[in-house]
């Protein structure tokens, strides 16, 4: 049998009168049983029970209830003669117990979030039996995505041993690692990505902002427009977008002049922050009043002399790099679109070009 749990010999042991070919295109064997006795039905249920021997005793009581023949309503599949028509008992087991799932890249399964049971009792029974089945066939990890409208399922999954992986607005993802060995499932995303735009015009003025909500150390300070990259957004487009949203000024990306890597920042995540040099293509300022107090073009010299820059080694170093870039003594990382044969996906590779004139930079 393709399910790997019940071969023909085992099926024959359920009833002395088993016959009938496998239905074309089906992954389960549909066997007819001519036996009409209650003993036959009990024997069948017992044999199926042995296949689920990995399920805890308490769980098996839930599965088989009072009547051994009543396997999640298996008596409903038995006609008045007890033959069961064209349905095999394992079909009832497979359709009612094992959660719908597909293979993942790590030897495990991904549960189909769109085909979960409708109520908690059915989900609890199915999850227990599914874990037993996946263990018996050598699966490793289980990905269980529970939509917001199935939030009541979470306690049952946690009780079975599932661990939280990550959560989004519409769902929570849980995982279960089966083997008694270190978990090989990839962890949740560990970083957030931010950008800052260094925008300077022909009059050597820097585009700066004052934020409405900031720490006391930056109270009253003029800083570069900054923000976070959105999902599936490029660094260079994110930098221009943030500048546009906060100040109303349109810009063109030039290059990444530096980036900072910090740890244990918001929500204990690591943080990547990219400083991008941008060329202004407009000058009129129109601030986003929800988060920006003010914005203006400030002379570069005045901007650099601010105490929060002069007294902070990191900010001072960032400004030194930006000034070196303006003097054409430093080359930043420009964006280049590439496609890898490894996965066939388009991506952006940031690097220095070999010919300095390509970025108007005199330093090789």
The pLDDT tens digits for 342-361 are 888 899 999 997 554 544 55
pLDDT score, position 50? 41
| CATH superfamily to which 101-177 belongs | Gcn5-related N-acetyltransferase (GNAT) (3.40.630.30)
CA-angle at 191, arms to 189 and 193, nearest 5°? 125
| Domain regions of the chain by residue span | 8-96, 101-177, 192-359
101-177 and 192-359 have identical folds: no
Query: What's the DSSP call for residue 184?
Result: -
User: CA Rg, the chain, in Å?
Assistant: 32
With 60 as the cut, is the pLDDT of residue 271 above it?
yes
Measure the N-to-C terminal CA separation of the chain; round to a whole number of Å.
Answer: 67
Q: Is residue 75 scored above 50 in pLDDT?
A: no
Query: What is the C-alpha to C-alpha distance for residues 97 and 94, in angstroms, rounded to an integer?
Result: 6
CA 32 and chain centroid, separation: 45
Distance of CA 60 to the CA centre of its chain: 34
Report the mean per-residue pLDDT for the chain. Answer: 78
Q: Which helix (H) or strand (E) holds 299?
A: strand 292-299
Residues 211-247 pLDDT 10s:
988 766 777 889 999 999 999 999 999 999 999 999 9
Per the CB < 8 A criterion, the answer to whether 254 and 278 are in contact is yes
Provide the CATH number for the domain formed by 192-359 in this structure. Answer: 3.90.79.10
Q: How many CB atoms lie within 10 A of CB 280?
A: 19
Distance CA 131, CA 133 (A): 5
pLDDT confidence of residue 141: 95
CB 281 within 8 A of CB 248: no
Residue 175 has pLDDT above 70, yes or no: yes
Q: H or E element: which one contains 211?
A: strand 205-211
């Amino acid at each position: 049998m393709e399910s790997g749990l019940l071969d023909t010999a085992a099926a024959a042991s359920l009833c002395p009168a088993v016959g009938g070919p496998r239905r074309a295109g089906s992954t389960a064997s549909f066997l007819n049983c001519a036996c009409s006795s209650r003993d036959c039905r009990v024997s069948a249920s017992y044999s199926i029970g042995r296949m689920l021997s990995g399920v805890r005793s308490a769980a098996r009581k839930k599965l088989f209830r009072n009547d051994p023949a009543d396997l999640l309503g298996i008596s409903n599949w038995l006609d008045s003669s007890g033959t069961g028509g064209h349905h095999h008992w394992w079909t009832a087991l497979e359709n009612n117990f094992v959660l719908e799932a597909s293979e993942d890249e790590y030897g495990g399964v991904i549960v189909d979030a769109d085909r979960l049971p409708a109520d908690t009792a059915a989900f609890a029974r199915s999850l227990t039996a599914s874990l037993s089945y996946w263990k018996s066939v050598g699966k490793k990890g289980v990905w269980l995505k529970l939509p917001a409208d199935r939030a009541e399922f979470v306690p049952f999954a946690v009780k079975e041993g599932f661990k939280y992986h990550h959560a989004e607005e519409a769902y929570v993802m849980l995982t279960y690692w089966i083997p008694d060995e270190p978990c090989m499932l990839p962890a949740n995303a560990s970083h957030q990505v931010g950008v800052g735009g260094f925008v300077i015009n022909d009059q050597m003025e820097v585009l700066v902002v004052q934020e409405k909500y900031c720490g006391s150390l930056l109270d009253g300070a003029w800083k570069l427009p900054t923000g976070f990259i959105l999902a599936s957004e490029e660094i260079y487009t994110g930098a221009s977008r943030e500048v546009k949203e906060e100040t109303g000024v349109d810009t063109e990306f030039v290059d990444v002049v530096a980036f900072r890597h910090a740890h244990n920042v918001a929500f204990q995540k690591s943080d990547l922050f990219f400083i991008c040099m941008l060329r202004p293509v407009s000058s009129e300022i129109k601030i986003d009043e929800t988060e920006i107090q003010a914005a203006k073009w400030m002379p570069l010299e005045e901007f650099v002399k601010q105490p929060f820059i002069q007294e902070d080694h990191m900010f001072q170093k960032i400004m030194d790099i930006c000034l070196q870039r303006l003097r054409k003594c430093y080359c930043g990382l420009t964006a280049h679109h590439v496609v890898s044969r490894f996965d066939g996906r388009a991506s952006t590779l940031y690097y220095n070009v070999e010919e300095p004139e390509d970025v108007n930079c005199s330093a090789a």
